[in-house]
Amino acid sequence: MTAKINAVNKTVFFIVILAFIIRMIFNIFYVAVNDVPISDAQDYHQTALNLLRTGAYHSTFRPPLLPFLIAILYKLFGINYFVVRVVLSIFSSFTCLIVYKITKELFDKQVALIAAFISAIYWMMFYWCGFLLTETLCTFFLMLAVLYLVKSSKNPLLRYFIFGGISLGLAALTRAVVFPIFLFLPLWAFVSFRNNLKLVLKSCTIIIGTLFLTIFPWTIRNYLVTHKFIPITSQSGQVFLGANNPDVINHYKGGWIHPTKSSLFNEAEIEDYFEHLTTEEANSLCWKKGIRFVLENPLFTAKQVFYKFKLFWHLNRDIGIPSLQYFFVFAFATYGSIVSFKKIKTMSILYLLPIFFTIMSMIFWGDDRARSPIDPVLVIFASKGIAHVMKNQYE
């Protein structure tokens, strides 16, 4: 028995090493060692530089965790993009280990090994570690939270609730879109502990409480800087209007354009946006314009929501190796989620997360990048689906 355990542990160790090697090959030969950050990655890089040089975080537009990590790495190793990508590759590799542990908690070691191996080689689970973006870090903390919530549903210990809440808080400080997940936690608790109302209330209170406490220092910082209540960031309005305007469909169906590129902004407002408004004021203006447009154009909005759904679930992509991998995982994940439904009590968080991120993508917008935090969930379901098919074949 001990020999079997040691063999499994060695296999997991080698899978994690394989995952890291694949991610380093990707970074060196696909992305390139000296690849310069652009777009959002450039913004995170610049935010980290400002933090390093001035000791101050100058905006509420970006969530803080990744810029702080980049700033620390720049302080230790100099301004080196590749070092940051190596560290993100380490986080991504350890996510494979977390996926293994989650799957083992839910099923068995065979299914868990399948999940770990797919996580190691699956394009969608390592692509983002090649860029100075939040996806890799967010996925790591979100899967850590899933691990503790799954453990707590089987054995409701206080430490699992606390660590689950902290992990969700760290994920939200990496990508603010995670923050509203607290609205779904009562449903998770009810499904997990539906025969014990006291435990439902206790788990919700502790997990949501620790999530809030984790982000609370940053919320206080935002208030001291802006004198406004901003839990994490003030970019949601820009994202909402950029995805809900009359011009976005002509540019990027289901996608996003900069709000000022829509016809909802006149020239004077564009000048105000860039020259006079604070980040918080621009965010508020975008929310007002976006909500007004959605309410006045319900049919157009419904069409855009349909396109957002397609974009989020990778249903309108060109066929290539990453897409073929995705469709393989998606097909088996669909099957795996069906055959696993009898375990809904312990697996409810794995069913809720795709629903939550889909809803967020249809309100705002989302593509492969937005879906990346739940790609490990698809892998877990797919692994169960593959194992179930294999079992039926041999019986």
Q: Is the pLDDT of residue 393 over 90?
A: no
Of residues 134, 104, 107, the one with CA closest to residue 116: 104
What integer is the mean pLDDT of 43-61?
A: 91
Rounded Cα distance, 376 and 219, in Å = 29
**Crossing angle of helices 2-25 and 109-121, rounded to 10°:** 10
Both tokens of 123, joined, read 């394009």
Rounded to the nearest integer, the mean pLDDT of the chain is 94
Both tokens of 177, joined, read 């879109």
**Residue 386: predicted pLDDT:** 97
- Cβ within 8 Å of residue 136, ≥6 positions away: 88, 91, 92, 95, 128, 129
pLDDT tens figures, 210-224: 999 999 999 999 999
Of residues 369, 301, 384, 380, the one with CA closest to residue 123: 369
Of residues 217, 187, 216, the one with CA closest to residue 203: 187
Q: Is the pLDDT of residue 1 over 80?
A: no
Count the residues in the chain.
395
Please report which residue ranges of the chain form alpha helices under DSSP H.
Answer: 2-25, 39-54, 65-77, 81-106, 109-121, 123-126, 135-154, 158-174, 185-192, 197-226, 236-243, 248-251, 267-275, 279-296, 298-312, 321-339, 344-363, 368-371, 375-394
**Residue 56: predicted pLDDT:** 87
A 10 A CB-CB count for 116 gives 27
Q: Is the pLDDT of residue 242 over 80?
A: yes
**Residue 8: predicted pLDDT:** 74
Tell me if 176 sits within 8 A of 134, measured CB to CB. Answer: no
Q: Is the pLDDT of residue 327 over 90?
A: yes
